[in-house]
Structure 1
Amino acid sequence: MQEVLSLFQDGFPDFRMLGIWGMGGIGKTTLADAIYHHVSNGFQRCCFLANVREQEEQRELLKLRKEFLSTILEDENLYISTPTIGSGFLTDRLSKKKVLIVCDDVSKLSQLEFLFGGINRFGPGSRVIVTTRNKQVLVRCGIDLIYDVKELDEDESVQLFCQCAFKSNNPTEYQLKLSKMVLSVANGNPLAIRLVPKQDIQEVLKWSFDGLDCEEKEMFLDIACFFKGKHRDYVTSIMDACYDSAHSGIENLIDKSLISVSQNQIAMHDLLQQMGWNIVRDESPLKLEKRSRLWIPEDSYSVLSENNDLVNLKIIRLDGSQNLVRIPDPSSATNLEKIDLWGCSNLRELPSSLQHLEKLSFLNFRSCKNLRSLPSFYKDTSLTELDIRGCSNLYSFPEIMDTMESLRHLYLSGTALKELPSSIENLIGLKQLRLKNYKKLVCLSDSFYKLKSLKRFYLKGCSRLETFPEIIDNMEMLRDDLKGSDLKELPSSIDNLISLVDLKLKNCCSRLETFPEIMDTMERLRRLDLDQTALKELPSSIDNLIGLEELVLNNCENLVCLPDNFYKLKSLKRLTLQDCSRLEIFPEILETMERLRDLDLSGTALKELPSSVENLIGLEYLILENCENLVCLPDNFYKLKSLNIFDLE
């Protein structure tokens, strides 16, 4: 690792690419992962693109590129289907960011060209690490900083293999003997495990597999066939519907060294994955429909199209299948629990029989751009998650026919819906509702307040939504990430959001001129961000925000004053009024404010500070940068004994 870091030259301002080269199984990914964690704090954005070779084999490079761009540019709805990234706007943004990117297990130059094609360079100080078994990939890419991963000597190889295969730092004589057999070659030099005679390595691997219980074996095969390289939370959510204890099962597979987790993604050695594939293929060498799992898209579609008897089918996952126009009627698949068709952009319709599948819990139609309608769902369904983000031709949402207790997560961002049905109140178990960048939404249902279980509600980017419905009764669960759209006004009943922690209206409520009176105390609201709103003043009832710790009013160019009772915000730790260019007077602080640490008044029109500023007894940072009208400081300014930083530039 130290040798690689010396090549890496962290701290040099120029952009660098580094190659890590070596045979399969020798530790390239482990090394890249260790370096990634060691240096990631020094970069603006970081992205680890795992298993590039395998992602191409599974036709998922487009999704991998989307993941890379979404992570680096912090835009989860970004989608580029062309062979190169191309857009001058995007490449300009990328060229200004200091990023760290790892491309793991690249086998062809074309993979890098697809992932990064159209990008000339990243920002100063950026680093790209490419791991590969093929040195020519690095040479043809113009990468001259190449680290050749060295093999361990025989004693180190045996000891390491014992630790991995037997979880033992003190292996028995028999384990040592077997490990030497597995790692030996005719000339006495150890090679990667993949070059060992098949019967030897399979014996060792089979020991590990045979030591699992029945459920762990099934989970191991699921990961080998479907979930290698996938996010652990996603895999757990899928498996929760299939097994009694998905979390502990995954933990046991980690403990037994059959899988590992890196960047919260599940990893599995190629040899172990190959063993899993072989176990499934051996179930029925000739008849695909008799196998327990199908992971090649053509095989899956063939079986779905030609077989009506699918009683045992639990999961359909055909994400990214561009040729999929419709899915066969799954009415006979009475045990079906999950359908994942993310990115099937030509999918146009869904069979109505979906609404009658009582065990169906997970539906993902994200980025199915041609999907035009959804079937209705009834109260006897088990559906817990519905994701239709990016379904840009979906103009209507079905009426919710009766009370649905099961649905927990509903993602609607980027659809063509103009409104939500009033029957949304029937989703009494809904915990998360995402409407981010829902640009055609013009109104919310008046019965929105009846979503009593709602915890998270995302509205950012809903540019046509001007008003928020009145919250007629307390919403006790809603506490995180209520982010505004281009609202003109907030409801007068906003204090009924009694558990709200974070209210962010930054950059998106440029027409919001008034903040409603807060008629009752809101104990839990910690952060209020009103950056770039059109507010002229805040109500005196703001002192009912008794738990408020951070108040952000930057760039509120119409703000002319703060309420006289501002000093009653006893929990306030940070107040920023940067570039409030019409703010001429700071209110008197008639009582001590012990907790206020950070006060930013830069770019305001203040001429002076009140003498009562001495009551800010805990103030550590006072920023008055670019206060061009400021002519004097109070004579008792020296009483700010806690002041650490004072900026008058």
Structure 2
Amino acid sequence: MASSALTYSRRYHVFPNFHGQDVRRTFLSHLHREFVSKGIVVFKDKEIERSHTIGHDLIQAIRESRISIVVLSKNYASSGWCLDELVEIFKCKEDQGQVVMTVFYDVNPSDVRKQSGNFGRAFETTCQKKAEKVKQRWTKALTDVADIAGEHYLNWDDEGKMVEKIASDVSKKLNLTIVSRDFEGMVGMEAHLRKLDSLLCLECDEVKMIGVWGPAGIGKTTIARALFNKLSNNFGLSCFMGNLEGGLMKSIRGVDDYASKLCLQSQFLSEMLNQKDMKIRHLGAVKEWLQDKKVLIVLDGVDDLEQLVVLANEPSWFGSGSRIIVTTEDKKILTAHGINIIYNVDFPYEEEALEIFCLSAFKQKSPQDGFEKLAKKAAKICGNLPLGLCVVGSSLRGVTKSEWELQLSGIENSLDRKIEDVLRVGYDKLSKKHQVIFLHIACFFNNENVDHVTAMLADGNLDFTNGLKILADKSLVHISTDGKIVMHYLLQQMGREEVVKHSNEPGKRHFLVEAQDILNVLSNGTGTESVVGISFDTSKIGELFIHRRAFERMHNLQFLRVYRSHSNENLSVCTIEGMDYLPRLEDMEFLPRLRLLDWNSYPGKSLPQSLRPEFLIKLNMPSGKFEKLWGGIQPLVNLRKVNLNFCFKLKEIPNLSRATNLETLTFIQCTNLVKFPSSIVNLYKLTIVRMWGCNNLQVVPTDTNLKHNINRRCTSTILRSFPDITRNINNLWIRGSPFVGRNRNRDFKRLPHVPESVWNYEDLSRSDMERIPAYVRPHTFINKNCTKQRPNVVSRELQRLTTHVPQRLSKLDLSGSGIERIPDYLSGLHRLETLILENCTKLISVEGLPSSLKYLHANGCVSLERVKFSMLLQDSDSVRELFFRNCLRLDEEARREIINHRFAKYVCLPGKQVPLEFTHKATSTYITISQGNFCTASSRFKACVRYDSIKDHTLFSIYIIKVEVQIGDVWKQGY
């Protein structure tokens, strides 16, 4: 019978069973009004004609209800109709699990159970002339209903509060009987809700306002809706106000601002109280209606502070225990309103993103056979944005492989309309000035360093620093931990499409980023003063023709970047005149405002004399074919960075004496460079000079006297003498030729030795003697007076350590050396923090480690058997990393000691199984452990993650493991 009951549709939430004369116009009318305010659908029997027995319509209504409420009053038993309904209600309870609730309204439960007192006398009167079977059915039903605990009217001083309690109980029971599948299977939703539960602190009686912040399309509304569905039945009143950023709020900025605010409050209260077209006369109405009520409110898509002022100005507007949840793209709105509890919705992990996409594209959690690569490509194009994943996935459902490839190609170049409509909302609300900054980042400076972009856009009219903060607050960009500006791929695409909309003629747009558009402009010479930046990926074209005067009218060009995203050996480059190489930009005199010249593989022998570089900030021209940049002295006062790496034909560095703000100069692998420029001797801001692989370098200035120069790296196989180096240098890199092992005598015959004086400089903090043979090194590594800043020593040729290791040493790198064991006196190096023993294949044991050690890297030590940690146990909290990857001979005792003791925040051990000490295991991204007495907010946990395989380039993924632990309402996390 239970299975047949499933065929009934559930039209009603509640079926009321009552005696009309006793309660219809009093208690029941109040209860009905409360039900309506909560959106609870109640069956009404006004239109059903009553007879001696209940008819089919009433039986159907009972069966189509989720809950029956039996209101037992003094005259209840005088109605055979009520008793027949009660019998049918208990049939539904037995057959289909219908919930039955009771209210004893001015009647004693024991009288109902025993059919005694006035209630019993009324029952006996009703039973007269009835068959005994009927009386028995009624008697059993009354006995059963009396045994159901319910609300007793006499226990309440305030009928209104009793009505609220009953309505709230019904709402909660409905939540249990109505299983919402709206968010079933939604990837990552459970984790979001767990975190938000801890922030909401529902057991707390104070009023809390919570912000849910993140970019458009990240899923804020979906998360808020799922949270609302989960929690709403715990509150007396609840309301989800959506579309605040759309049509609902546009009126608030109308002519009569006060009237529009009244209108908004009216709409809000109508939703909250479930009363149509409520009219209010003043803006204090929300407080008047709700200040004594426990409410749950979601304000979705808030984009203006005034919206919060109108709808939820103060916590005092709402009753104890209320929760107000605000979703927005603009963090500044939350902080301005005093909302400090903010949940930042992160992008899903790659695995989650692929699952979201596959659910839309294939209706399953993984790609269909043969679609694996295409599915991953699609997820990557969407940049893990849930909105994009769902929209693109749905558009590809059921199409062939060839259609997939065609559509994905189109998506890469043009946004889907649904995605664009959502993403551009935040952009449209920016001021014109901030839109300009947005477009600069979208077209040119995405994933660039903040300081670099700040220098490039140092224009008083833009106020870039403040503008960048506004973009970050509005979730249009974010700043990575390494200081880079990161804009989501789809937002970048939207910004670039916005630039295209400005003009149908590419030469009149502010930015040119599409290769074909740039080709048309350069080959036809149609560029204008509107062009500010060109970012040209030449790998996307097959043949390039450039007009000799292509830049003549681009007077405002500030940023020029020419690069290849991938190799294109078939690219044919020539000018209109038929030259077989790219022009040397004879018209660079028409580029007076150029700030960035970033040209990979520049084909000319030099830059033109007409170049006007006074505004140039960065010169980035690696792999160029030129022999020199320019002749003479140029005005370079704004120049900060020069990169000439891998310019194999470069013979000389230009005169840089006027580059007084130069900070970085690199010319790695410039194999034809003979002389280091003496013009840099007074460049006091120059901090980094890198010249690795300059094997023909013969002359380095004898004393650069660079007061703040902190990093010099040099490689040369024919350096005639070791230069006198200023004592202000504290990073010194001296590396030999890559061929040192093949012909040592030839490589270093011109370098007799590295002078002892190098080691006497008190400011020297890092010495890397890698690949320099022992016979040209100082006789001692360092003297006892060395360095206040703790040097580092690297040696890959040692068979054993001598006693000349400096006491102030902070880092010792012996990777690839032939040592077999670490000597005991190493424990006396009380400042040693890092010991690197990578690929020391003869190393058997590591013992006597100093207590100061924080990092021990011994990956690839295939002979390593023993490691002793006795000194580390004295201060176990100080150790951060112990890496023993591929140390397959490491004994069990060492492994157990590492696992069972508290030291080392990160450990990498070889093995195929999770150690037995980790008793709780899971293959998913989370695990639930029952809370014991040991579980407190200050408890420590160890988590073990097993990788199937780790290649060298994936080792660093260890650092992005994020572990989150929830103990009660407290969340703790670590990386």
- TM-score, normalised by the number of residues in structure 2: 0.38
1:253 aligns to what? 471
Q: CA deviation at 1:412?
A: 0.9
Pick from 506, 525, 529 the counterpart of residue 790 of structure 2. 525
Q: Which residue pairs with 1:184 in the alignment? A: none
Aligned partners of 1:595 and 1:618 also within 8 Å: no
The reply on whether 1:305 has 2:549 as its aligned counterpart is yes
Are 2:477 and 2:486, in contact at CA under 8 Å, matched by a contact in 1? no
Query: Residues 304 and 626 from structure 1, CA distance in 2 versus in 1: closer, same or farther, beyond 3 angstroms?
Result: closer
Q: Quote the offset at 1:252 in angstroms.
A: 1.9
SS in 1 for 2:549: helix
In structure 1, what residue type is equivalent to 2:429? S
Q: Tell me the distance in 2 between the aligned counterparts of 1:598 and 1:294.
A: 45
Q: Secondary structure at the match of 1:525?
A: coil
Q: Tell me the equivalent position of 1:61.
A: none
Of Structure 1 and Structure 2, which has the larger fraction of its residues in helix? 2
Tell me, yes or no, if structure 1 residue 337 matches structure 2 residue 595: yes
Question: What is aligned with 1:352?
Answer: 609
Offset from partner CA, 1:152-185 (integer Å, 9 cap, x none): xxxxxxxxxxxxxxxxxxxxxxxxxxxxxxxxxx
1:327 deviates by 1.6
Q: 1:322 to 1:220 in 2, by over 3 A?
A: farther
Instruction: Name the CA distance, whole Å, in 2 between partners of 1:597 and 1:335.
Output: 50
Residue 35 of structure 1 aligns with which residue? 348
Q: 1:533-589 CA distances to partner (integer Å, 9 max, x unpaired)?
A: 24765453723x2xx233233443389996x975652222455668879999999x9
Residue type matched to 1:192 in 2?
Answer: K
| TM superposition shift of 1:305 | 1.4
- Pairs within 5 Å for 1:488-527: 490-495=754-759, 498-505=762-769, 508-509=771-772, 514=777, 516-519=780-783, 520-525=785-790, 527=792
Aligned residue type for 2:806: I
Which residue number in structure 2 is paired with residue 551 of structure 1?
812
Residue type at the aligned position of 2:381: D
Q: How does 1:565-580 map to 2 (within 5 A)?
A: 568-573=828-833, 575=835
Preserved contact between residue 529 and residue 551 of structure 1 (Cα < 8 Å): yes
How far is the alpha carbon of 1:311 from its aligned partner? 4.6
Q: Which residue of 2 aligns with 1:434?
A: 690
Measured after TM superposition, the shift of residue 35 of structure 1 is 3.4
C-alpha distance in 2, partners of 1:642/1:5?
32
Partner residue of 2:646 out of 361, 386, 390: 390
Counterparts in 2 of 1:581 and 1:240: CA distance versus 1, 3 Å: same
Does the 8 Å contact 2:815/2:838 carry over to 1?
yes
2: CA distance, partners of 1:261 / 1:468:
45
Aligned to 2:668: 413
Whether 1:484 aligns to 2:748 is no
TM-aligned CA deviation for residue 351 of structure 1: 0.4
Q: 2:501 maps to what in 1?
A: 278
Matching residue within 619, 622, 632 for 1:366: 622
Look up the SS of the partner of 1:35 in the other structure: coil
| Residues 259 and 497 of structure 1: CA distance in aligned 2, closer, same or farther (over 3 Å) | same
CA distance in 1, matches of 2:556, 2:867: 74
Contact 2:427–2:435, Cα closer than 8 Å, also in 1: no
The counterpart of 2:562, out of the listed 304, 313, 318, is 318
Residue deviations 1:599-646 (CA, integer Å, cap 9, x gap): 89998999x999xx98888497999x9999xxxxxxxxxxxx99999x
| Structure with greater contact order relative to length (CA < 8 Å, sep ≥ 6) | 1
**C-alpha contact (below 8 Å) 1:372/1:393 kept by paired residues:** yes
* 3-state secondary structure, aligned to 2:588: coil
C-alpha spacing 1:207/1:585, structure 2 compared with 1 (3 Å): closer
The 3 A distance-change label for structure 1 pair 557 and 614 is same
State the match for 2:418 in structure 1. 192
For each residue in 1:245-294, what CA deviation from the matched residue of structure 2 results, as whole angstroms up to 9, or x when unmatched? 43332222333455556785334254443333333669959974142436
Query: Displacement of 1:474 after TM fit?
Result: 0.8
- Which has the greater radius of gyration? 2
- State the match for 1:93 in structure 2: none
1:266 to 471, 487, 490: 487
Q: Residue 293 of structure 1 aligns with which residue?
A: 532
Conservation of the 8 A alpha-carbon contact between 2:633 and 2:655: no
**Letter of the structure 1 residue corresponding to residue 711 of structure 2:** R
Q: 1:105 aligns with which of 381, 391, 394?
A: 381
Whether 2:643 is the aligned partner of 1:381: answer no
Per-residue deviation, 1:445: 0.7
- Cα distance, 1:390 vs. partner? 2.5
Residue 513 of structure 2: aligned partner: none
Aligned residues of 1:582 and 1:605 also touching (Cα < 8 A): yes
Shift, 1:451, TM fit? 3.4
State the alpha-carbon separation in 1 of the partners of residues 601 and 635 from structure 2: 28
Give the Å deviation of 1:335: 2.9
- Name the CA distance, whole Å, in 1 between partners of 2:871 and 2:800: 26
Give the RMSD, CA atoms, in angstroms.
6.1
> Measured at CA, do residues 316 and 5 of structure 1 come closer, stay the same or move farther in structure 2, by a change above 3 Å?
same
Q: What does 1:635-646 align with in structure 2 at a 5 Å threshold?
A: none
Alpha-carbon deviations, 1:300-342, whole Å to 9, x = none? 9978815646554433333349733422332243333222222
Aligned residues: 470
- TM-score normalized by structure 1? 0.54
- Whole-Å Cα distance in 2 between the matches of residues 390 and 249 of structure 1? 37
- Work out the CA distance in 1 between the residues paired with 2:394 and 2:450: 26
